[in-house]
Structure formats: C-alpha cells, structure tokens
Amino acid sequence: MFLKRKNIWTVLLLWICFSACGYSFRGGGNFPAGIKSICITVPGNRTSETGMENIVANALDYEIFRTGKVISTDKRKADAILSGVIDSMNIETISHRGAHTSLERRVRVSISLKLTDRTGKAIWSAKGLSSSQAYDVKQSDKSATEQNRRRAISALAKKIAEKVYNRLTESF
C-alpha cells in the first residue's frame, strides 16, 4: 500500500512538473523576416530635451540585449537597422494645490521607429508610439523636482523600449 501511494505521488509530481498549458508572454518571439542581429541607431530628437535621444537609445539597447537578442554596433554586419525619431515630449500638471502650485506632473513622449534591412527596405514600423510617467513636484527644492523629472524620463524610456521590443517580436 505504501509503495503504491509513493508511486502515485511521484507520477503526480512528475506530471505537474512537465505539463504545460501552452501559455506564453507576448513579444517573446523572434524578430520579423528572419532577422537575427540588429543595429540600433540613436534616434533623432525633435524635442527640447537635451540628451533624450541617448536615453531612449540606451533603453532600447538594454531591452533587446536583456532578452538575449544579438545587437551589432556595425550597420554593415547587422541584418537590420532600427532607426527613428522622438516626435514630441510634453509635460502637464496632473494634480495641483491652488491655481499656480503643481504637486504632480506627467511627462509624455511619442516616438516613431522603423526597422530596415541592409538594402534599406522597410520591414517594420511604428508611428506615434507613446507612453507617460508621473513625477512629484517639490515646491521648496527645484533640483529635487528636476531629479524626479529625469527619473521619470528614464522610466518612460524603459516603458517605450519594452513596447518596441514586444511589437517587434510579437507573432502575428
């Protein structure tokens, strides 16, 4: 009797460990058109935010590298080139005290990207991809508000990079 119970539990445990429901996360696939390596260029910057293009490029590099895909720094060796432009960045007040005192603001960024093969043929594109991030305003400390804004921009760039990666690798 004891051996039968032990065998049943062993079989049940193995079945649970090796069974799968087939669920998978979005964006976990491969690049489109059989692309194996990608070169990410620094996007153009149509905003007044100095350095925004580098923040976005670094976030894209990190997101694609983090997922195990091949990033090439040489356009001639890469299968495809990801390029684009940061279209806009807006900052708006989302909560305030009185008519002239902001408590919290939101930064919103919109970006357009294009993936092309070595010949320049467009493989994938996304226009107006946007995201937003809130940050606190410190009335008594302008430098703290500026640090909060920069942190919000970095978090926003990471969100956009995740969206780009998921759209690039989603199965249709």
Q: What is the pLDDT of residues 59-95, one digit of tens each?
A: 999 999 888 888 888 888 899 999 999 999 999 999 9
Q: Which of 34-38, 40-44, 61-65 has the highest mean pLDDT?
A: 40-44
pLDDT, residue 34, reads 85
Partners of residue 105 on adjacent β-strands: 93, 135
pLDDT, residue 101, reads 85
| Percent of the chain clearing pLDDT 90 (strictly above) | 61
Confidence of residue 27 (pLDDT cuts 50, 70, 90): very low
Token pair of 11 as six digits: 């079989």
pLDDT, residue 16, reads 63
Q: Work out the burial of residue 166: count CB atoms within 10 Å of its CB; fewer than 13 is exposed, 13-18 middle, 19 or more buried.
A: middle
Does residue 22 surpass a pLDDT of 60? no
Q: What is the pLDDT of residues 113-161, one digit of tens each?
A: 999 998 899 999 999 999 999 999 998 899 999 999 999 999 999 999 9
Residue 128 CA to residue 81 CA, distance in Å, equals 19
CB hemisphere CA count around 51 (13 angstroms):
4
Confidence of residue 5 (pLDDT cuts 50, 70, 90): low
Q: What is the mean pLDDT of residues 30-52?
A: 92
Confidence of residue 24 (pLDDT cuts 50, 70, 90): very low
Domains of the chain: 29-169 (3.30.160.150)
pLDDT, residue 43, reads 97
Cα first-last separation, the chain: 52
- Secondary structure of residue 97 in the 3-state scheme: strand
Question: Angle at the Cα of 91 (from 89 to 96), degrees rounded to 5?
Answer: 170
In the block, tokens 């039968």 appear at 4
